[in-house]
Amino acid sequence: MRIPPLLIIWLSIGCALVLQVMPMPLQLDVFRPNWLLLTVMYWCLALPHRFNVGSAWLCGILLDALWGAPIGINGVIFALVCSFVIKNFQRIRSYSIWQQAVIAGGISLVYQATSYFIQRALFDVSLIEGYYYSALTSIIFWPWLFFLLRKTRRHWQVA
Amino acid sequence: MFAILSVVLLLSTDKMAPYRVYLTTLVSPLQFIASAPLSLLDQSSQYFKLRSTLMSDNAKLKLEHLELSDRLLKLTHLENENRRLNALLGSQVAASGKKLIAKVQMVDSDPFRLQVIINKGAQDGVFVGQPVLDENGMVGQINYVSQFSSTVLLIADNSHAIPLRNNRNDVRLIALGKGDLHQLELQFVTKSTDVKIGDILSTSGLGGRFPQGYPVAKVTAIENRGSQIYSKIKVAPIAQLDRIRYLLLIWPVIPSDTKPGDE
């Protein structure tokens, strides 16, 4: 049976969104990796012709709606991050998995910092303790997510 | 292009509010899926309770019920008396309105906002700005509504302020959220204002958003600096904002004008 590739992509995005809001113990909550960002990054790397800046922007908007954040904040950052990845996808693809992981961590860090500064500029928010830890866990989780999604992609022949 | 679109969206937040309902409704199934494992666990732990625990719970609740019904009897008497006195004074009378119990959905939200998601939405008549309580006191107000769920902005959020009145002497105050679940701050209180540690502050009803008379916070610390005009006052919310499970949504009643000669 052949499943349309876009369906697979958006199912994985849906799973990432669920993981992103899944309840976690308070102590572990700051260590939650940026699931959605990592998944979006993977699809940008793997299938830049199918998953473009617009899709990433849509993912950001969905996250905003899910989080109850002002609509557009994650949208703009996701679009920017995605455009960076798509511009450099051939270079990033050729790196080893751990180098990619470090890049993913760096992008997570940039994403979180930008999100903080935008919110800081627009509203009065304060930084919570351990806000940047999830960039670290994003590094650790990138290889697993990468292999999992690659296996999914090959199994369903998403191209 | 998408960046510009996002900026436009961000700046037009107020105008886009009606459309946001559809978007949040679209993603709300994800919230239900995300909270499903924990609520299942929760239900099964309810199901497998020991008989002795249930019996002691029951006994305790019966006692509590007795105590509360005694107070309720007095309350109805006082309410009647209050209504008569208000009528004599010719002031507005506020009756108690519709209430609804909502359950907090255990899902994560924006890391910069102190907010929780509840399982009641537009189909239950929930509206933006609606006051939300728990059994101890005021918790917050509705921030966003979708068809089946809505977001409650807690009083401790950075962007939240609530008008209060000191129960002891009716001094009006405003408590600002500081992004800390256990602490709010009173702003612009001159040193000469009569506020003491241990004072209970309730909603004043000014501003028209929160109904009058619900307890909100207790004064925990007062700091007076020599050179400053205002004292720094810290208050602790009475509702335990970090462990809310069930919330009470209340519908404000449009006060009916009662003239002295009406009754």
List the CATH number of the domain containing B179: 2.40.10.340
Q: Are B241 and B156 in contact (CB under 8 A)?
A: yes
Whether B164 is covered by a domain: the verdict is: yes
Q: Are A30 and A134 in contact (CB under 8 A)?
A: yes
Decide if pLDDT at B93 tops 60.
no
> B134 and B197 share a domain?
yes
Report the sign of the C-alpha dihedral through residues A16, A20, A22, A28, in that order.
positive
> B152 and B68 share a domain?
no
Number of domains in chain B: 2
What phi, psi does A71 have (nearest 5°)? -60, 130
- Of chain B residues 138-157, which have a CB less than 8 A from chain A? 143-144, 151
Q: Are B117 and B150 in contact (CB under 8 A)?
A: yes
Question: CA of B190 to nearest chain A CA: how many angstroms apart?
Answer: 24
Whether B161 is covered by a domain: the verdict is: yes
> B110 and B22 share a domain?
yes
- β B172-180/B230-237 pair status: unpaired
Decide if pLDDT at B62 tops 90.
yes
What phi, psi does A129 have (nearest 5°)? -65, 135
What phi, psi does A126 have (nearest 5°)? -120, 150
Segment B110-153, tens digit of pLDDT: 778 888 888 888 888 898 889 998 888 899 999 888 888 888 99
> B107 and B204 share a domain?
yes
Neighbours of A27 (CB within 10 A): 8
Instruction: Provide the pLDDT for residue B242.
Output: 82
Whether B173 is covered by a domain: the verdict is: yes
A129 at the B interface (CB within 8 A)?
no
Q: Which residue matches tokens 């999604």?
A: A149
Decide if pLDDT at B211 tops 60.
yes
CB contact under 8 A, A23 and B117: no
Q: What is the mean pLDDT of chain B?
A: 82
A65 at the B interface (CB within 8 A)?
yes
State the DSSP code for A95. S
User: Which of B23, B115, B179 is closest, CB to CB, to A65?
Assistant: B23
Q: What is the DSSP string of chain B?
A: -HHHHHHHHHHTHHHHHHHHHHHHHHHHHHHHHHHHHHHHHHHHHHHT--HHHHHHHHHHHHHHHHHHHHHHHHHHHHHHHHHHHHHHHT--B-----EEEEEEE-----TT--EEEES--GGGT--TT-EEE-SSSEEEEEEEE-SS-EEEEETTSTT-EEEEEETTT--EEEEEEEEETTEEEEEEEETTS---TT-EEEE--TTSSSPTT-EEEEEEEEE--TT-SEEEEEEEESS-GGG--EEEEEPPPPPBP--GGG-
Whether B11 is covered by a domain: the verdict is: no
With cut-offs at 50, 70 and 90, classify the pLDDT of residue B51: confident
CB contact under 8 A, A57 and B112: no
- Mean pLDDT on B202-223: 88
CB contact under 8 A, B6 and A54: no
* Most confident residue range from A27-36, B6-15, B229-238, B251-260: B229-238
With cut-offs at 50, 70 and 90, classify the pLDDT of residue B253: low
Whether B1 is covered by a domain: the verdict is: no
**Is the pLDDT higher at B64 or at B95?**
B64
Which residues make beta-bridge pairs with A82?
none
> B85 and B204 share a domain?
no
Q: Which residue matches tokens 């920017």?
A: A80
Q: Count Cα neighbours of B67 within 13 Å in the Cβ-side half-sphere.
A: 6
Whether B126 is covered by a domain: the verdict is: yes
Q: Give the pair of three-digit tokens for residue B119.
A: 């399982």
> B176 and B116 share a domain?
yes
Q: Mark which of B93, B127, B152 sits at the end of a domain.
A: B93
Coil, strand, or helix at residue A128? coil
A146 at the B interface (CB within 8 A)?
no
Q: Indicate which of A31, A52, A62, A64 best probes the interface with B, i.e. most B CBs within 10 Å of its own CB.
A: A64
Instruction: Provide the pLDDT for residue B218.
Output: 92
> B125 and B242 share a domain?
yes
Whether B62 is covered by a domain: the verdict is: yes
Domain that residue B66 falls in: 50-93
User: Which of A23, A53, A73 is closest, CB to CB, to B35?
Assistant: A23
Structure ipTM: 0.74
* Most confident residue range from A34-43, B9-18, B81-90: A34-43
Q: Are A114 and A78 in contact (CB under 8 A)?
A: no
CB contact under 8 A, B30 and A119: no
Decide if pLDDT at B4 tops 80.
no
Q: How many CB pairs under 8 A join A and B?
A: 114
Instruction: Provide the pLDDT for residue B235.
Output: 93
> B77 and B153 share a domain?
no
Tell me the pLDDT of chain A (159 aa) as tens digits: 677 878 888 889 999 988 888 877 777 878 888 899 999 999 988 888 888 888 888 888 888 888 878 787 888 888 888 888 888 888 888 899 899 999 999 999 999 998 888 888 877 777 777 788 888 889 999 999 999 999 988 888 877
Whether B257 is covered by a domain: the verdict is: no
> B88 and B160 share a domain?
no
Instruction: Provide the pLDDT for residue B64.
Output: 92
Instruction: Provide the pLDDT for residue B96.
Output: 60
Instruction: Provide the pLDDT for residue B2.
Output: 65
- Give the angle subtended at the CA of A22 by the CAs of B158 and A62, to the nearest 5°: 70
Instruction: Provide the pLDDT for residue B23.
Output: 79
Q: Are B250 and B102 in contact (CB under 8 A)?
A: no
Instruction: Provide the pLDDT for residue B91.
Output: 57
User: What are the residue ranges of helices labelled H in A4-132?
Assistant: 5-21, 26-29, 35-46, 53-67, 73-87, 89-94, 97-122
Q: Are B179 and B158 in contact (CB under 8 A)?
A: yes
- Mean pLDDT on B205-222: 88
> B162 and B246 share a domain?
yes
CA atoms of B124 and B118, how far apart (whole Å): 12
CB contact under 8 A, B9 and A75: yes
Instruction: Provide the pLDDT for residue B164.
Output: 92
Instruction: Provide the pLDDT for residue B14.
Output: 64
Instruction: Provide the pLDDT for residue B260.
Output: 43
> B218 and B108 share a domain?
yes
Q: Count Cα neighbours of A15 within 13 Å in the Cβ-side half-sphere.
A: 11
> B29 and B142 share a domain?
yes
- Of chain A residues 84-113, which have a CB less than 8 A from chain B? none
Instruction: Provide the pLDDT for residue B155.
Output: 92
Residue at A39: amino acid letter: T
